[in-house]
């Protein structure tokens, strides 16, 4: 990594999903992970707050 390269840690959360990524110089994705509760909520047709918490 040169002096000009920057690493960015991006974190995003919602009531049923959480994700994180590491991006180099704003252009190259080094890592990307997602944790989702979509399967849990899909059978109810939407988000169930008691399950999401």
- Contact between residue 17 and residue 28 where contact means Cβ atoms under 8 Å apart: no
pLDDT of residue 3: 66
When the pLDDT of each residue in the chain is averaged and rounded to a whole number, the result is 89
Give the torsion through C-alpha atoms of 20, 13, 15, 41, to 10 deg.
-20
Q: What is the model's pLDDT at position 41? A: 87
pLDDT-based confidence at residue 35 (cuts at 50, 70, 90): very high
Q: What's the confidence (pLDDT) of residue 2?
A: 57
Q: Taking residues 22-42, report their average pLDDT.
A: 92
Residue spans per domain, the chain: 1-37
pTM higher than 0.75, yes or no? Answer: no
């Amino acid at each position: 990594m040169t002096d000009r390269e920057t690493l960015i840690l991006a974190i995003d959360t919602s009531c049923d999903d959480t994700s994180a990524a590491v991006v180099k110089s704003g252009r190259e994705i080094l890592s990307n992970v997602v944790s989702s509760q979509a399967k849990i909520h899909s059978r109810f047709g939407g988000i169930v707050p008691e399950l999401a918490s």
